[in-house]
Amino acid sequence: MRVLLLDRDGTLNIDNGHVYTPDDLQLLPDVIDALTRFRNAGYSFFIMTNQGAIGKGLQTMEDYEDTESCLESLLLEGGIEIEGTYFCAHHPDDGCTCRKPAIGLWKQLQDDHDDVSASDCIMIGDKDTDILFGQAIGAKTARIASGQYPANVKADYEVRDLAALADILLVS
């Protein structure tokens, strides 16, 4: 099974610093087209996201769930099914084991999907924590280079968006 592990904000949708409600959610251009190409090549999709705004009290769990449901509906309207969503709701300073780059979200995914192997995965995100997470579980990594966050950790692939990654990986 080939798998894309997708960060949410900055990878699937515009990261404007406060994607707390469905009204704040806007897919990045070409996300549906790029994911369709990956789906047609046999990839499955999981979302792996830190949502520290919940732990900070800036977003309620209900707003998070509504936003995530909206995202999955927008993707499904485009023919893209998400196999599972795994998120950390803790405050960044809580020291939990699920906040990327810690691998707790991976352990949760493995509990639910023991047929998913890290060697078959590509972790895609726009932050060093995403890349470090992918490296920690033994997956390939791809950074969506937005320029919004520092890129101190080298990813296997550095691309401008998911479409550019598809151009590299899905060579006919």
Distance CA 106, CA 98 (A): 8
20, HSE (Cβ side, Cα atoms, 13 Å): 11
Is the separation of the CB atoms in 34 and 163 below 8 Å? yes
Find the catalytic residue in 9, 15, 126, 128: 9
Q: What phi-psi label fits residue 42: left (phi over 0), alpha (psi between -120 and 50 degrees) or beta?
A: left
Catalytic option among 7, 15, 126, 128: 7
Is 9 an active-site residue? yes
**Spatial distance between the Cα atoms of 8 and 154, rounded to a whole number of angstroms:** 20
- Which segments of the chain does DSSP mark as H helices, in order? 31-40, 52-55, 61-77, 104-112, 128-137, 162-169
Residues with active-site annotation = 7, 9
